[in-house]
Amino acid sequence: MLGHHHVTQRYDRMEIADYIIADDKQLVELALKGDDIAFEYLFNRYSEAIRRLLLQRSASIEDTEDLLQETFIKVYINLQRYSANYTFGQWIYTIARNTHIDFERRRQEDLSIDDKFSATIASTPSPEDNLINIQQRRQIEDYISCLPQQYRQLFTMRFLEDYSYEEIAEKLNLPMGTVKTQIHRARERMCRLIRNAEE
């Protein structure tokens, strides 16, 4: 059941039937204007296929759900980078694949830091894109402000600034286990906020 938090909704929601029949391009446009219901419908069109992909490649159901959550947040935060030159399915598949590659690299301790950066998701948005999508940026910042204080910096470093787990642990002088646990919790809370669910 959908709940409410203090993030201000700045759009007029469509009827549920309209979300179901809308094409991917329409849902992307709505999501970029701050309509998180549109984003939820958009992501859910591909979530089962992505889950199956990750489950085939990962060792456990728990890892798969973690990677699906991470993909969800990366897609949400980088939505303004999506280009209609690709289908949305191709784009989200690429993000999921890169997220899995990054996950596997984190498990290998003998790689250098340079090898641990995940592949670039897509081209940098143009200044026009940044202006058009300032609404979504505000939405993301609102959600970050809803996170408990101890998670805000970790979330920002990991998902907005693309720091690796190792770099975060080093910069904040925290044990790796603490970084992993807190990022896991921050990620779960952010997913709940985007989905507008009460705890």
Alpha helices (H) along the chain: 16-21, 24-32, 36-57, 61-77, 88-106, 127-132, 134-146, 149-155, 165-172, 176-194
CA–CA dist 199, 197 (Å, integer): 6
Confidence grade of residue 138 (pLDDT, cut at 50, 70, 90): confident
Residue 59 has pLDDT above 60, yes or no: yes
Whether the Cβ atoms of residue 60 and residue 100 lie closer than 8 Å to each other: no
Measure CA 65 to chain center: 13
Span between the terminal Cα atoms of the chain, in Å:
11
pLDDT score of 145: 94
Residue 122 has pLDDT above 70, yes or no: no
Distances (CA, A) of 53 to 32, 100, 197: 26, 10, 26
For residue 196 the two structure tokens come to 């507008």
- For residue range 69-99, what is the model confidence (pLDDT) as tens digits? 999 999 999 998 898 888 999 999 999 999 9
Segment among 64-78, 114-128, 161-175 with least mean pLDDT: 114-128
When the pLDDT of each residue in the chain is averaged and rounded to a whole number, the result is 82
Question: How much is the pTM?
Answer: 0.77
pLDDT score of 106: 75
CATH architecture, range 16-194: Orthogonal Bundle (1.10)
For residue 191 the two structure tokens come to 């997913």
